[in-house]
Chains A and B, each alone.
Chain A
Amino acid sequence: QVQLVESGGGVVQPGRSLRLSCAASGFAFSSYGMHWVRQAPGKGLEWVAAIWYDGSNKYYGDSVKGRFTISRDNSKNTLFLQMNSLRAEDTAVYYCARDSSGSGGAFDSWGQGTMVTVSS
């Protein structure tokens, strides 16, 4: 069955960096666009970034553009999110999600999420 497992979250000081990973299994990872979505404590969902199935195109939300980088390794079925210059407002649960509509945003599978806390 489709499985997405995030890792790499934790507590980090403002201005520092963190790299999240999302290990995929149970499907042809290299055939799907992938996304990161986050949810601050008690708040709604916020789209963070997307990457095409082959990594050729990447898109970012305004709040993370220039600080976060999405990437993937199709040989290892893994999605990444490199987060630099972290701010308190980046504190959230970060989910990776599979896009079943190419890049149209139909997230049919989600990971369990990994918590990132930015605090001094």
Chain B
Amino acid sequence: QSALTQPASVSGSPGQSITISCTGTSSDVGGHNYVSWYQQHPDKAPKLMIYEVTNRPSGVSNRFSGSKSGNTASLTISGLQAEDEADYYCSSYTSSSTLVFGGGTKLTVL
């Protein structure tokens, strides 16, 4: 169960858009549509932002969107706001019926 690969950090200015990638294999990201994204602020529990690749839970801003191509999933945040500054994690169901997280990406809003 190797962790999914995410960039360690990304940054953007308020109002801009950023994209965080999440690369796995055909046994996880590429083989299922159970990819989720979580936002975590310091000392807080994670919050679900995207599930099943593209779906947004009720209450999550439509500035957050998800997509997938092959073995790579992506989270895009448009119209960056200061409160978006946080750590972001992807996760995927695997062919072994287990789950795997990405290493996490620290988003800095400049």
Chain A residues in contact with chain B, CB under 8 A? 35, 37, 44-47, 50, 57, 59-62, 95, 100-101, 103-108, 110-113
A68 to chain B, nearest CB (A): 13
Is the beta-carbon distance between A105 and B97 smaller than 8 angstroms? no
The interface residues of chain B lying within 8 Å CB-to-CB of A103 are 93, 97
Chain A residue at minimal CB-CB distance from B46: A110
Given contacts A61-B1, A111-B45, A101 and B98 within 8 Å (CB-CB): no
The interface residues of chain B lying within 8 Å CB-to-CB of A57 are 97
The interface residues of chain B lying within 8 Å CB-to-CB of A110 are 45-47
The interface residues of chain A lying within 8 Å CB-to-CB of B98 are 47, 50, 59-61
B45 is contacted by which of A50, A95, A101 (Cβ under 8 Å)? Answer: A95
